[in-house]
Amino acid sequence: SERTLVLVKPDGVKRGLVGDVLARVERKGLTIVAMELRTLDADTAKAHYAEHAEKPFFGELVDFITSGPLVAMVLEGHRAIEAFRTLAGATDPVKATPGTIRGDHALQIGENVVHGSDSPESAAREIKIFFPDRF
């Protein structure tokens, strides 16, 4: 069993997609082991997205992820990291397969509804940022 950090980003919360994401996660058989609604400050956002610090869209990314409340959760289950990324679909929602979260709900790459950790190392790092005392 494995853990992953998932976010319903501010666009997803504003659009009322939290329930839809949770329903897909539960239907898939992943277990929610922690969950919180919160608004990130810029320092936390920069820490979370540190790997993208040199990208041209980093400023936009930090502004967007701090623009309103998000839902952070830790999911646990068999190959949870890959399982959630499959549910999420491709980063670019135009290319995301219909039936995935991004394929069904998004159009712009900057507002693609969810985040999911991309490796066990990222998951451990991100879980520590969002739930420092819990795991």
Q: Which residue numbers are catalytic?
A: 115
Report the length, in residues, of the chain: 135
Cα separation, 129 vs 108, whole angstroms: 26
Between 34 and 61, name the residue whose CB sits nearer to ligand GTP.
61
Pairwise CA distance, residues 121 & 126, whole Å: 9
Kindly state whether residue 60 participates in binding ligand GTP, applying the rule CB under 6 A.
yes
- The answer to whether residue 57 forms part of the interface with ligand GTP (CB under 6 A) is yes
Check if the beta carbon of residue 84 is closer than 8 Å to that of residue 98: no
Site string for ligand GTP, 74-113 (x = CB under 6 A): -----------------x-----------------xx-x-
Q: How far is CA 39 from the centre of its chain?
A: 14
Which residues contact ligand GTP (rule: CB under 6 A)?
57, 60-61, 91, 109-110, 112, 115-116, 118
